[in-house]
Structure 1
C-alpha cells in the first residue's frame, strides 16, 4: 500500500513537471512567433548595456530601469545574446524558477501534511502566471526565491534562507517586505540578514569602480522616490488597493496613502508575530509568506495585474489544504474561482466597467486576506485527521506514528 502511494505521488509529480515543460515550450513558442513583442525585457537589457558601458543606469521620469545595479549585472548575459537565444532562455529561467519554488515548498509541507500540493498549486497558479511568463517579468523569479526562502525558514536553515532573500532583494527590492517580516518575527535571523545585505551592496564594487557603483545607488534612490511618488501615481492605473478606490471614484491623497501603508505594515508585523507565538514555527513561517504577498499586492504602489502571479502560489496551497486535507470543497472552489477571476480580470471587468479595469484583483485579495484573518481570530486551523498510520508510513510522511494512531489532529501551516 505504501509503495502504491509513493508510486502515485511520483507519477503526479512527474506529470506536473511535464505540464510545466509544456508551458515553457508554449510560452517560448508564442513569444517567438510574435517577435517577442509582448515583453518587458527591454528595460532590463538597457540597464545591462548601460552597466557594461559604465553609463548611468537611471533616466528621468517614473518609468524605465527601476532596479538595483545587481539586476543589470544579472541580466547582462542575456542582454549580450541575440534575441532569438536570450529571450527564450530568460523565460525558461523565470518559469523554471517559479515552478521549482512551488515544488520545493510543497515538498517540505508534504512531509508534515500529506498531500501533493505541488500538483494542486501548479494547476491553480497556471492561469495567473501565463501573461507574466510571456512578458518575461522578473516577478516569477522573485516569487520562486520567496518560496525557497520559506522552505528554508521551515527547515530552520537560516543561511540558505538568507541567500535567497538577499538575491531576491538584489534583483527586485519588493522582497523587502518579507525580508523585514522575517527579521522582525525571527530575531535570530537579523544578524545573518544584515551581513547578507552588506555583502550584497559591496559585491558590485568588485566589478566596477566604487565611485561609479555608489553613484548608481544614489540614482536608484532618486529613481525609486519618483517611481513611487503617490502624487505621480494618483491618477495612474495600477492595481493596488488605492487603484481600486480610484476606480470607484474615491481617490486617496498622497499623505494618507503613505500613512495607511505604514500603519498596515506595522499591523502585518503584529499579526505575523502573534501568529507565530500562537501557532508555532510552521504556521508562523507560512503566515509570513501569505501576508508578505498580500501586502505587496494591496500596498505596492506599482502593482500591476500581472503582479498577481505572486498571489497564485498562496491560493494554490490553500486550495490543496482545503480540498485534499480538510475536504472543504466549497472553500477550495471559491479560492479556485478567485484565481480564475484574477487571471481573466481585465477581460471580464473591461466589459462591466470600461476604463476602470483594475479593481477586481485587489478586491479579491482583500477578501482572501480577510479569510486568513478570520481563521486566526477564531483560531480555526486547517487540520487533517489521520486515523491509522503505520510506523513505516509515518517515517515516510514525517509524522509521529503514535500520535496519529491515537487519532490526534495534525495541524497544518497556513501559507
Structure 2
C-alpha cells in the first residue's frame, strides 16, 4: 500500500467523478444514444396514455413494476435532455453515497484512500451501466442502503430504501427477503414497503387499467426463461455453457439457483453472527449482490455493475488490512480486466457474455472466502449476534 496510497488517495475518486461528468456530457449531447432511458420514458408515456406497458410474449422493453412508470413521469415531462440528466445523477448519487456510508461504517485509517481505490477498481465494470442509465445503478445504491439500515435496525430508512429498490427493479425482492431473514422484526416494514409500491399506481390511473397491467406484469415475470433462440442473451452462470454449445436444461439451472440461494442465505447469516458489525454490511451486500447477478436468469452484462463497487471496496479493504499480496493483486487485476474486455468491439465479441460471470464469480468467491476466514478469527471475541 506504500506505493498505491499516494497515487489513489484522491485519484480514484477523481476518475470516478470525472468519468461520470463525461457521461453527463454525452447524455446531454445525445440523450437516446447507447441508453436504455428511452424505455423508461416510453413506459411513463404509455402509462399516462393508458396504453399497455408490457410485451408479454417477448419479455423485452419495459420490464419494471407499474410504480416505476409513475415515478418516472416527472422526469419524462422534463424532456429527454433535462430528465435523462437528472436520472443519471440520481442513480450515480445514490450509489456513490452508499459507498461513502459503507466506508464510514468500516472506519479505521485512510478512509479516503479506501473509497478512492475501491471506486477506481470498480469503474471499468460500472462505466457501461452508468453510461446507459441502467436502473441497476439505482437498485445497487438502494439495496446497499437497505442492507446497512436493516443491520442497524432503522425501520424508517428500511421502509424508504425497500420502496426505492423494489421500484427500481423487481429483483430487489431477493434483498428484501435477505433483510427480513437477518432482522425478522423488520418483516412488517418490508412487507408494507412492497404493498405501498403495489398501491401507488392506483392513485394515478383507473383500477381496471392498473389491474390489467399487473396481470401482464406478473405473467411476464413468471414466463421469463433462458431461451437461446430469443432476443435476450443472458449473462448469468449459464452463459459460459451456452457460449460453448452446452446449454443447461431449465430444470438443472433452476436447481442450481435454488441451491445457490440457500447457500447464500446461510453465508449471509453466518457473516452477521461472526463478522465485526462495521464490516459485516460490506460482506453481506457483496454476497447478496453476487447472487443477484450470477444466478439471476434475467441478468445481462451491465447488471454486474451491482457487484463492482462492493467488490472494489472489499479489495481495497483487503489491501489496507495487508492481506496476501498475490491474492489482492490478482483480485484487483481481475476486476479491472473483466471491465476492460468491453472497451473494444472485437474484445467484446470475443468475451461476451461468458467471461464476466466467470471473472466476477472468481472475484466474489475469493473475497467471500477472505471475509469467512476473517470471521473465524473474530469468533472467540465477537461471539454470536442475536437476530431480530
With normalisation by structure 1, the TM-score equals 0.81
Decide which of 211, 219, 228 is 2:208's aligned counterpart: 211
Q: Distance in 2 between matches of 1:280 and 1:336?
A: 24
Secondary structure of 2:111's aligned partner: coil
Q: Is the Cα–Cα contact under 8 Å of residues 234 and 253 in structure 1 kept in the other structure?
A: no
Within the alignment, does 1:179 sit opposite 2:186 as a pair? Answer: no
Within the alignment, does 1:375 sit opposite 2:370 as a pair? Answer: yes
Q: Cα distance, 1:274 vs. partner?
A: 2.8
Q: What pairs with 1:3-402 in structure 2 (closer than 5 Å)? A: 19-34=15-30, 36-60=32-56, 61-110=58-107, 115-116=111-112, 117-226=114-223, 228-231=224-227, 237-279=233-275, 281-326=277-322, 328-346=324-342, 350-351=346-347, 357-375=352-370, 379-381=373-375
C-alpha change, 1:29 and 1:23, in structure 2 (3 Å) is: same
Q: Cα distance, 1:344 vs. partner?
A: 1.7
Q: Distance in 2 between matches of 1:301 and 1:204?
A: 27
Q: Distance in 2 between matches of 1:167 and 1:354?
A: 34
Q: Distance in 1 between matches of 2:50 and 2:132?
A: 27
Deviates more, 1:292-301 or 1:86-95: 86-95
Q: Distance in 2 between matches of 1:383 and 1:86?
A: 49
Q: Distance in 1 between matches of 2:306 and 2:233?
A: 19
Q: Is the Cα–Cα contact under 8 Å of residues 275 and 374 in structure 2 kept in the other structure?
A: no
Q: Deviations over 1:197-234 (max 9, x none)?
A: 222222222222233222221111112233x2234678
Q: Cα distance, 1:383 vs. partner?
A: 8.5
Q: Cα distance, 1:31 vs. partner?
A: 3.2
Q: Distance in 2 between matches of 1:142 and 1:240?
A: 18
Equivalences, count: 375
Q: Distance in 1 between matches of 2:190 and 2:175?
A: 11
C-alpha change, 1:382 and 1:16, in structure 2 (3 Å) is: farther
Q: Cα distance, 1:153 vs. partner?
A: 2.9
Q: Is the Cα–Cα contact under 8 Å of residues 236 and 357 in structure 2 kept in the other structure?
A: yes
C-alpha change, 1:154 and 1:16, in structure 2 (3 Å) is: farther
RMSD (CA atoms): 3.2
Q: Cα distance, 1:251 vs. partner?
A: 0.9
With normalisation by structure 2, the TM-score equals 0.86
Q: Unaligned stretches of 5+ in structure 2?
A: 384-388
Q: Distance in 2 between matches of 1:303 and 1:136?
A: 16
Q: Distance in 2 between matches of 1:55 and 1:220?
A: 14
Q: Distance in 1 between matches of 2:382 and 2:117?
A: 20
C-alpha change, 1:114 and 1:190, in structure 2 (3 Å) is: farther
Q: Distance in 1 between matches of 2:275 and 2:127?
A: 35
Q: Distance in 2 between matches of 1:258 and 1:96?
A: 35
Q: Is the Cα–Cα contact under 8 Å of residues 311 and 364 in structure 2 kept in the other structure?
A: no
Q: Cα distance, 1:332 vs. partner?
A: 2.5
C-alpha change, 1:383 and 1:161, in structure 2 (3 Å) is: farther
Secondary structure of 1:241's aligned partner: coil
Q: Is the Cα–Cα contact under 8 Å of residues 43 and 62 in structure 2 kept in the other structure?
A: yes
Q: Unaligned stretches of 5+ in structure 1?
A: 1-7, 385-407
Q: Distance in 1 between matches of 2:368 and 2:128?
A: 30
Q: Distance in 1 between matches of 2:298 and 2:177?
A: 20
C-alpha change, 1:18 and 1:410, in structure 2 (3 Å) is: farther
Q: Cα distance, 1:114 vs. partner?
A: 6.1
Q: Is the Cα–Cα contact under 8 Å of residues 349 and 360 in structure 1 kept in the other structure?
A: no
Q: Distance in 1 between matches of 2:12 and 2:74?
A: 30
C-alpha change, 1:149 and 1:169, in structure 2 (3 Å) is: same
Q: Deviations over 1:344-363 (max 9, x none)?
A: 22457945x95662111111
Secondary structure of 1:58's aligned partner: coil
